[in-house]
Amino acid sequence: MNTANKNTPLLITIATSHYCEKVRWALDSLGVDYVEENHAPPFHRQYTSRYGGTSVPVLVVNDKAFTDSQDILHYLDTIAFDRQLYPQDPELRRQAETLEKLFDDKLGVATRNWAYYYAIQQPWTINSSCLE
């Protein structure tokens, strides 16, 4: 599915994921060109497993795979010369990473569970959101 050249990063995603959206925002904010392969759950696993991942997102850059959204952002921060994603000050960076973990592990998961609860009651929303 990847139609870009070998040097263009490949982002493997599902349509509705706060982890994937976080990485999309970071890539777009930094102006990084990438190709996105969007797969419906649970079929995304056959694509992520090729790169050692079990979930999404997976970012593949020059044959190196990053299989966690926080790892992807840390990598992107190292290549963002003039637009860092994280503060340079160690204390501010620690605070930002603490908030990121809270959003990933608590708020994002709670929001996902809330959305799934209502989506299951409206099956048409699942079909449309998975096929975007």
Angle at 30 between CA 90 and CA 47, to 5 degrees: 100
Tokens of 98: 């603490």
Scan for tokens 């994937």, then name that residue: 20
CA 61 to the chain's CA centroid: 14
For the stretch 10-52, pLDDT in tens is: 999 998 888 999 999 999 999 999 999 999 888 788 889 899 8
Q: Which one is predicted more confidently, 72 or 63?
A: 72
How many CA atoms lie within 13 Å of 96's alpha carbon, on the beta-carbon side?
Answer: 13
pLDDT of residue 43: 79
10-130 fold: Glutaredoxin (3.40.30)
pLDDT higher than 80, residue 77: yes
Q: What is the pLDDT of residue 132?
A: 53
Tokens standing for residue 39: 């797969």
Q: What is the pLDDT of residue 24?
A: 97
Handedness of CA 116, 109, 25, 33 (dihedral sign): negative
Instruction: Give residue 83's pLDDT.
Output: 87
pLDDT of residue 26: 97
Average pLDDT, the chain: 86
Instruction: Report CA-CA distances (Å) from 116 to 11, 43, 68.
Output: 24, 18, 22
Q: Residue 58 pLDDT more than 80?
A: yes
pLDDT tens digits, residue range 88-128?
Answer: 999 999 999 999 999 888 887 777 777 777 777 776 665 55
Distance CA(129)–CA(42), nearest Å, equals 14
Residue 13's beta-bridge partner residues?
38
Q: What is the pLDDT of residue 97?
A: 95
* Confidence band, pLDDT 50/70/90 cuts, at residue 56: very high
C-alpha to C-alpha distance for 4 and 1, rounded to whole angstroms = 9
